[in-house]
Amino acid sequence: AQKVTQAQTEISVVEKEDVTLDCVYETRDTTYYLFWYKQPPSGELVFLIRRNSFDEQNEISGRYSWNFQKSTSSFNFTITASQVVDSAVYFCALSEDTGFQKLVFGTGTRLLVSP
């Protein structure tokens, strides 16, 4: 069965600090997809990234970077030089490739960035 674990419930940082959000997943499939979503206080989930299981290249997008390591079943997310606008709940999610498999979300990590 698929499972996503985000062990960090809440992280507090001061602006300009770097912060890493951890995501560990479990799946028996060899083909699967990993996602990160951001949910600001307004409520909308904002899609950040999708990764497939065959692509282990790390990705950087501005201040955001993602580290995918199949050996440790982890897909961690780093925000460099955090800003107050980064304050949100961040969800990691997994879907398998067999027919339709629903998105399995982790429990989320609440990030608080103070000025």
- Residues contributing to the site for other proteins (CB under 8 A): 32-33, 35, 37, 42-47, 50, 52, 91, 95-97, 99-103, 105-108
CA nearest neighbour of 86 among 22, 15, 34:
15
Minimal distance, residue 12 CB to other proteins, in Å: 16
Nearer to other proteins, 37 or 75 (CB): 37
Closest CA relative to residue 3, chosen from 88, 111, 102, 100: 102
Residue (of 92, 89, 90, 87) closest to 103 by Cα position? 92
Cβ at position 105, least distance to other proteins in Å: 4
44 or 71: CB nearest other proteins:
44
Which residue, 71 or 100, has its beta carbon nearer to other proteins? 100
Quickly count: other Cβ atoms within 10 Å of residue 11's Cβ: 17
